[in-house]
Structure 1
Amino acid sequence: TFFRTRTGLGEGNPSRFAPRQVLFAHAAISDPRVGRLLHGQRIARQGFGLAEASERDMDLVLDDWRLARERSGAMRALAGGEGFQLDLVLTPTQPILLQGEGGFSRKGPRPEQASWYYTLPHLQVSGRLEREGRWRPVRGQAWLDREWSSTLLDPAAVGWDWTGINLDDGAALTAFRVRDARGKSLWTGGSLRTADGRLWTAPNGAVAFEGGRTWTSPRTGAVYPVAPTVRLMTPAGERRWVLTPLFDDQELDSRPSGGPVYWEGAVRVPGGSGYLELTGYAAPLRL
């Protein structure tokens, strides 16, 4: 995951060292044999070819990490961390999926609480993974989200729950809710694109995250709902998926790179697999 933020600092400073833009990034491996995330992170002010984000195409660099679109349309990803390195090629197999209203995804009751947001589900992955000094070939499926915004969360919001699922039949499920301090949904959204390309975009109130088993972090004391049931109230009737984590301890502490503590990990559903993100449980999230 790569992030780019405008700091509001040094806007009138002509120095190339002025921290007008900051890039930070996280990479993690979920390995049940380890039982926790293996994690790496980077942070730097933009500039000097060491930390750059192109405004013309997908081309991000942060020290020795890279995410860039190649001429073929595939994407190359290089990243690593605690005991691992990734060198992956991600090839689209489906058209871009525009979230929200033609890519404008509401996140709250006020119109400015929104993001521009698109998804590339069912990416074909090939490449290699290094663990403990040994490289091995890997292949599989992936999911890419691209989102940008100037104002995102309502002041009453403390965090969100989000999931993206590649379903085995070629369908793609996105679901999220923004929560307040009582755990009530302030806003919900998502989409379901079927294998034949039909897209349903969920209006506010048509998505629910319910119940399920929780896990308490021994490090932060945060209680995460790691196995929720996601419900979509579609015009054709209710659809539901029970999410099961690959393992419970997929908490990510990004405070060394200026981020929060949150839970982000691999999950399975009957007939698919993907990712679940749970923020604002260790402490209210401030963006």
Structure 2
Amino acid sequence: MRRAPLRSHLITALLAPILLLTLAGCEDTPPAGTGAGFAGLGESAEGFAQARPGTPLRFPEDHGAHPDYRIEWWYLTANLEDDTGEPMGLQWTLFRQALSPPNETPPTASQPPGVWVADQLWMAHLAISRGERHAVAERFARSHSADPIRDRTGQAGAVAQPFRAWLDDWTLATRVEEPDADTFERLTLTAFDGEGESRIGYRLELTAEGPLVLHGDAGFSQKSADGQGSMYVSQPFWRVEGEVTLDGETHVVGGQGWLDREWSSQLLGPEQAGWDWFSLHLDDGHRLMAFQLRGGGEAGGDYRSGTWITPEGEPRALAPQELSLTPLASSRVAGREVPTRWRLEVPSADLDLIVEAPHSERWMDTSVPYWEGEVVARDHDNDERLGTGYLEMTGY
């Protein structure tokens, strides 16, 4: 789910009609169609590869793009503190959506690959949060699956080795120079928008202090009782250091990050209207990913799943019945009621948490809007602070 399963956060990139109009320079954007499921993620994807149990994952190849799948994202969130101890949150996401299956409309001599012959749409989101302030930027690009992206000259793309994912000058790229090393272990994220007092962005160094985590069944994350799902991998062990610029002021920051990688062709069932996704860094070193898709469960109920991760990075998949996610309080945000206080229970891990957003104004007013922001996890019984993380909510 970016989570998110969806994570989110995100998914925006999936609205091809809207993006086509936006990328073509239209001034007016029509309202999104209802589609099948949230943002059309339940639509049939005939001709594309399907995420299935037993699909082998291969690294470093799977750090790069998968144009044979319809949708994909690279999704980073981070809980940071600046040099005064003030909490800050950030998000950076790169989304890719294919408009047609590979080779369905190949380029020709008269129409070579390029910005006007596109079968891939790209979207990137940047967000920074500090106190009540929540700043957001969004960019779009297009490409063709036949573009020679390995020369890294296109407007957007993602290459596995050496790793680089980018849209214009917003770039997530390796800092590893050794040719035989894992170039996903140390990354630099650079993304800025605006000028002067309105400038926002960051330059950050990410260092992995634990292994990649495969969710679900060896990387296949089921999203409904009917079997739809995605290939889902996370790096929840990032140490993050660098500088963040907000409203023209630059802050030295440090903290923890979580990066999700998902690719799929039909992520949801048609009746699923949205999701709630949590990623938590607990103070004892454990990590937790948990989500529920509203609808798509047995007898029409919600579908839940998650992963309990040890400090050493060993994952344990959580079945739907092992998780309980209960909204306790809502906030009025962007003209709608959004649940910003939750009870999250995982009895098998002896976990009973209250997860709450310290600030409710974390609305992503992007092409397809959603809520994404920092949360604090506390013990349900004694209110002891146990960790921090991020929450993403769509379809409200």
Assess same fold via TM > 0.5.
yes
Bigger Rg, which one: 2
Distance in structure 1 (CA, Å) of the matches to 2:302 and 2:162: 34
Query: Counterpart in 2 of 1:190?
Result: 306
TM-score of the superposed pair, with normalisation by structure 2: 0.64
Distance in structure 2 (CA, Å) of the matches to 1:175 and 1:233: 13
The one-character-per-residue Cα deviations of 1:120-165 (angstroms, maximum 9, x if unpaired) are 1131011111234343321111111111111101011000000001
Moved more, 208-217 or 45-54: 45-54
Query: Counterpart in 1 of 2:291?
Result: 176
Query: Counterpart in 1 of 2:375?
Result: 267
Distance in structure 2 (CA, Å) of the matches to 1:133 and 1:251: 21
Distance in structure 2 (CA, Å) of the matches to 1:144 and 1:67: 11
Q: Secondary structure of 1:156's partner?
A: coil
The one-character-per-residue Cα deviations of 1:139-193 (angstroms, maximum 9, x if unpaired) are 1111111111111010110000000011112110100011039xx7432111111
Residues 213, 228 of structure 1: 8 Å contact kept: yes
Comparing both structures, which one devotes a greater share of its residues to helix?
A: 2
Corresponding residue to 1:122 among 237, 241, 248: 237
Query: Counterpart in 2 of 1:12?
Result: 106
Moved more, 95-104 or 224-233: 224-233
Corresponding residue to 1:225 among 330, 339, 364: 339
Residue identity in the other structure for 2:354 = V
Query: Counterpart in 1 of 2:354?
Result: 242
Residue identity in the other structure for 2:304 = T
Corresponding residue to 1:53 among 158, 163, 174: 158
TM-score of the superposed pair, with normalisation by structure 1: 0.87
Please list, as runs of the form range in 1=range in 2, the aligned pairs for 1:1-287 lying within 5 A after superposition. 1-8=93-100, 11-14=105-108, 15-16=112-113, 17-32=116-131, 35-46=132-143, 49-54=154-159, 56=161, 58-71=163-176, 73-81=185-193, 83-111=199-227, 113-180=228-295, 185-217=301-333, 219=334, 221-234=335-348, 238-255=350-367, 260-269=368-377, 270-281=385-396
What residue ranges of structure 1 are gaps of 5+ in the alignment? 282-287
Residues 96, 120 of structure 1: 8 Å contact kept: yes
The one-character-per-residue Cα deviations of 1:52-86 (angstroms, maximum 9, x if unpaired) are 22255641111110012231631111123453120
The one-character-per-residue Cα deviations of 1:74-131 (angstroms, maximum 9, x if unpaired) are 11111234531200011000111111011110001233x1111111113101111123
Residue identity in the other structure for 2:345 = R
Distance in structure 1 (CA, Å) of the matches to 2:246 and 2:326: 37
Between the two proteins, the alignment pairs up a number of residues equal to: 269
The one-character-per-residue Cα deviations of 1:230-266 (angstroms, maximum 9, x if unpaired) are 12242x6x522111113011111111xxxx2110000
Comparing both structures, which one devotes a greater share of its residues to strand?
A: 1
Residue identity in the other structure for 1:203 = A
Q: Secondary structure of 2:395's partner?
A: coil
Distance in structure 2 (CA, Å) of the matches to 1:149 and 1:99: 14
Q: Secondary structure of 2:360's partner?
A: coil
Alignment RMSD, CA only?
Answer: 2.2
Moved more, 169-178 or 1-10: 1-10
Residue identity in the other structure for 1:254 = T
Residues 177, 208 of structure 1: 8 Å contact kept: no
Distance in structure 1 (CA, Å) of the matches to 2:139 and 2:107: 25
Q: 1:206 Cα deviation (Å)?
A: 2.0
Distance 1:163 1:24, change over 3 A: same
Distance in structure 2 (CA, Å) of the matches to 1:56 and 1:6: 22
Q: 1:36 Cα deviation (Å)?
A: 4.2
Distance in structure 1 (CA, Å) of the matches to 2:162 and 2:230: 19
Task: Give the structure, 1 or 2, with the largest relative contact order (CA under 8 Å, sep 6 or more).
Answer: 2
Residues 295, 303 of structure 2: 8 Å contact kept: no
